[in-house]
Every structure is written in C-alpha cells, then in structure tokens.
Amino acid sequence: MDQLARRLGLSDAVLIGLGSMLGAGVFVAYAPAAAAAGSWLLLSLLLASVVAYANATASARLAAVYPESGGTYVYGREQLSPFWGYLAGWAFVAGKLSSCAAMAWTIGVYALPDHARWVAVASVVLVAAISYRGITKSAKVTRLIVAIVVTALVVAAAMLIGIGPTATTAGQAIDVSVAGVLSGAGFLFFAFAGYARIATLGEEVIEPERTIPRAIPIALAIVTGLYALVAIALLRSRGAEVIATDPAPLAGALRATGLAGTDGLVRVVAAIAAFGALLGMLLGVSRTGLAMARDRHLPPPLAAVHPRYQVPHRAELAAAVVVILLVLLGRLVTAISFSSILVLVYYAIANASAYRLPALTRTHRILPVIGLVGCLTLAVFQPIATVLSAAAVLLFGAVIYAMRLPHG
C-alpha cells in the first residue's frame, strides 16, 4: 500500500490548522450570525467555540490512537462501525467540497466582484497546482498567508476599537431568541471548522501521537481569541443591527471610519485568507478521499500516491474538479450553511467515537457528550431548506453504502 511521507512538525501542523480556519468565515460569517443573534453575537461565538473545543479535543484524542489519514472516517470505523465511519467520511467530503466552493467564491467576491465566478474557478486551479507539488510547499505558502491575515485582523480590530462607533444609521431591530443565538452559533461554527484538518494529515505529521494532540488546541485557542477580538470591534464600531445588513461587515466597518484605503486593504487580506483556507481544505478533503478509496468506498484509483511528490494526486484533482462544478452551479450563502451542517454531523460522529475510547475516565467522557449534543443542536437550527438538503445528501450516501453490502 502506498504511504505518505512524514514531513510536518508542530509549527507546520498548527499553521495548517490556522490557515484552514482563518478563511472566509471571519470575513462573511458575522453578518448572518448577527442577523440571527443580534446583540447576543458574542454568546453565539462562545457557543460555537465550546462546540469547536469539544470537537478538537475529541479529534486530538482519536488522532493520537489512530495516526493515519482519514480523520473521523477512520475513527468512526474503528470505534463505532464501518457504516458510521463511512457516513463521517461521506459527510466530510460533501461538506468540505461545499466549503471549498464557498472559499473560492469569497476570493472572487473580494478580489474582483464583477468577475467573481471566474476568479473563483481560477483560484481552485491554482490551489490544486500548489497542493499537487507536495505538502511541504503547501505548508510554506500557508505560513505566509497566516502571518498576513493575523496581522491585518489585529490591526483592523485595534483601529475599530480605538476609533469607536461609526454607524450613522440604525438597522432594523433584531428580535433575540434562543433559536436565534443557536442559529448564529451555527453560522459562526463555519469560521472555526478547520482545526481537524491537522488530524486528517495523520500520515504526514512527524510523531503524530504527540504532535496532533498539541497542535489542534493551540490552533483553536489562537483563532478563538482573534475572532472574539474582531467581534468586539465590530459590535463597538457598528452594532449588531448594522453588521447584519452588510455582507462584508469588516470591510464596511473600516470604510465607515473614513480612513483612505482601508476597504481595499481588507479586500486583499480577505482574498488571501480565503485562498489559504481553500488550500488547507483541499488537503483535508483529498486525504479523506484517499482513505475512503483505500477501503473502496470511493473509486480505488483515487488511492494512488504520486511517486515523486508523495501526495494523493488523483484524489486532489478529483476534488478540484468537483469544487469547480459547485462554483459554476452554486451560491455563497447556501454553500456556507450546507457545509456547516454536514461538518457538524462529521464531528458528532467524532465525539461519539471519542466517547467509546476505553482509556477515558468518567469525567473525560463529559466533553464528548457536550460535543455530540452541541453539534446536533447547531445543525438542526440552521435554515430548514438547507437542513433538508443536507439530510437528503446523507440519506443518498447511506443508500449507496447499503447497495454495496453483500446480499444473500
């Protein structure tokens, strides 16, 4: 069986997690979240981060036991049953392909709005080319992108907090409810979903038993602090009602300060961030596709590893083609919600798998329960049409699995 080379250290693994999380979410998720949660936006962020932490802890514990490519596809298979592993892999691939499309769309919308679709397609092609050449090159590109995005977000938040309120008109009042806060948390979860990309790279991480459990919480802690800073800055600058009306709230807040060039600068940074997240996500999708192809749940040729670059090149190319089709046929907002639901299902299975680990104490089993309940709750409080669409995709995957079972 072809094996991937172990080349990633702790800093590389953390950076890939950061690059996967610091993408379109921080630039586009606050608007729909504020529309749902109103002035309770920070509570939604807290709920999303708690669920993300539970998921990250479950993924880290499982990755230490199963240091191989595939993530929850492997964990569910080993701890629950082959079906649950398969369903996790199916949900991950479908959800992250949609998320890749959302990231590509974000690049186009921010970089060249009048030609967003074709810029998005070109971005997917470029990311596939970089990923094809090897994981270490991808990590180097991600390192540069993370440095740019973190610096820009900290500076922008500091400016907004320092300048103070800038909104000249009030938006429509938002009725706050428990359902709204949960819906807002579901939208904001999209901005977190990326840390487990580290776990899906299990075969390429040096000393995965030690590196992965350390890298995931570090990456998540950095991003949570950064997102909270941005949320506080937006609320102070414009208020939830105005944030909810602006599809690019950070750019709008900076533009409202009257400082020349800030709008254009944040557009460039947003495009760079989405590019970095797209790169990390394509890596994760292709590695899960590799694991599923090895078990013949996807076409076996996708399990091939390039003899020179040591990457699953066919799985990467197949993922890129599907993302391009989604960009050509789909929309940004629907892609975000659809991705969130399926990825929450994926992590629900991860938490259920972590609960079954024999070495866990009774106290340690509480967190997987919180993660499982949290994932399912945030998923069902997304827009009903998207929930039904995601359920149909999962049902379709289950039907395919059942058709492949031996009969007689």
Any domain includes 242: yes
Nearest to 315 by CA among 287, 294, 351, 356: 287
Which of 324-337 are b and which e, b meaning 16 or more Cβ less than 10 Å from the residue's Cβ?
bebbeebebbbbbb
Any domain includes 151: yes
Any domain includes 4: no
The pLDDT tens digits of the residues spanning 353-373 come to 999 888 766 667 888 999 999
The DSSP code for 39 is: G
Structural domains counted in the chain: 1
Any domain includes 5: no
Please say if the pLDDT value at position 264 is more than 70. Answer: yes
Any domain includes 407: no
Residues 200 and 70: beta-carbon distance below 8 Å: yes
Please say if the pLDDT value at position 195 is more than 90. Answer: no
Q: What pLDDT shows up at residue 17?
A: 76
- Evaluated on CA atoms 184, 187, 188, 192, the torsion sign reads positive
The DSSP code for 205 is: B
Confidence of residue 238 (pLDDT cuts 50, 70, 90): confident
Any domain includes 109: yes
Q: What pLDDT shows up at residue 365?
A: 83
Q: Would you tell me how many other CB atoms lie within 10 Å of the CB of residue 119? A: 20
Nearest to 33 by CA among 262, 191, 202, 165: 191
Mean residue pLDDT across the chain: 82
**Owning domain of residue 262:** 10-402
Q: At what angle do helices 135-163 and 262-294 cross, to 10 degrees?
A: 140
CA 286 from chain centre, in angstroms, equals 14
Candidate from 54-58, 255-259, 266-270, 289-293 with smallest mean pLDDT = 289-293
- Evaluated on CA atoms 59, 60, 62, 64, the torsion sign reads positive
Please say if the pLDDT value at position 137 is more than 60. Answer: no
Please say if the pLDDT value at position 348 is more than 80. Answer: yes
Please say if the pLDDT value at position 59 is more than 90. Answer: no
Confidence of residue 298 (pLDDT cuts 50, 70, 90): confident
The DSSP code for 167 is: -
386/258: higher pLDDT = 386
Any domain includes 3: no
Please say if the pLDDT value at position 181 is more than 80. Answer: yes
Any domain includes 69: yes
Q: What pLDDT shows up at residue 2?
A: 53
User: Domain containing 237 — which CATH number?
Assistant: 1.20.1740.10
Distance separating alpha carbons of residues 220 and 197, to the nearest angstrom: 12
Please say if the pLDDT value at position 60 is more than 70. Answer: yes
% of the chain exceeding 90 in pLDDT: 22
Residue with token string 């409080």: 381
Distance separating alpha carbons of residues 2 and 317, to the nearest angstrom: 18
Q: Which two tokens stand for residue 130?
A: 């970089």
